[in-house]
Amino acid sequence: MFKKCSQVEEWLKAFDGDWMFAGGWAIDLHIGEETRIHEDMEIAIFREDQHLLQETLKLWDLCVVKERELVAWENQETLHLPTHEIHATSPEGNHLEILLNEKSRRQWQFRRSPSITFHLDQMKLRSAQGFPYLNPEIVLLYKSAKTREKDHKDFQHVFPYLNEHQKEWLKQALMHHQPEHPWLEALLY
């Protein structure tokens, strides 16, 4: 189980920054089983660690999404908002998507609405296998912007595994950022 996560951990063993699984993998790590097929491997790092990542993956082909196009990430180029998505392809053809996250002092900040924050000490969890993953309520907040069918399924799968504090934080964040989002119906009761 989670064989692909072990592979990513191996790729990043020389990375000195903080990293954690994101997206659907974070949801499944929280649940403790793979609930669906994942098309990609996503991890989250902090923007301040982007050059550490570039050094760690120096043999990989690195591109960033700028204005909805993939362009080469030049060596030592510093990525600023709104750029937040890096695509890395290894010489063997492995693919990894890296999502840059913002922080200020001891708080993670939601890049789409910086007033939504989360204490850094609580944003990264560990699975039973020891894999670091982004708290599921933060993952769901990201998924709320352009919710696809797989995102709705992720919400349905993980909802019973969220504690009351996690549900309350997600409810408050959605009320602020996506006040008409359909997940609020489940979170309000």
Taking the domain 3-135, which CATH number applies?
3.30.460.40
User: For 135-145, b where at least 16 C-beta lie within 10 A, e where not — what string?
Assistant: bbbbbbbbbbe
The DSSP letter of residue 17 is: S
pLDDT for 189: 75
Q: How far apart are CA 38 and CA 150, in angstroms?
A: 10
> What would you report as the CA-atom Rg of the chain, rounded to the nearest whole angstrom?
16
pLDDT for 10: 95
Per-position pLDDT tens, the chain of length 189: 799 999 999 999 999 999 999 999 999 999 999 999 998 999 999 999 999 999 999 999 999 999 889 999 988 899 999 999 999 999 999 999 999 999 998 999 999 999 999 999 999 999 999 999 999 999 999 999 889 999 999 999 999 999 999 999 999 999 999 999 999 999 987
Cβ neighbours for 83, distance < 8 A, ≥ 6 positions apart: 64, 65, 66, 100
- Tell the residue number behind the tokens 């912007």, with chain if given: 145
Per-domain boundaries in the chain? 3-135
Beta bridge partners of 126: 132
pLDDT for 156: 96
pLDDT for 25: 97
Pair 131, 5: CB distance under 8 Å: yes
CA distances from 15 to 28, 123, 162 (A): 23, 19, 30
Q: How far apart are CA 141 and CA 170, in angstroms?
A: 7
Q: How far apart are CA 155 and CA 161, in angstroms?
A: 10
Beta bridge partners of 72: 63
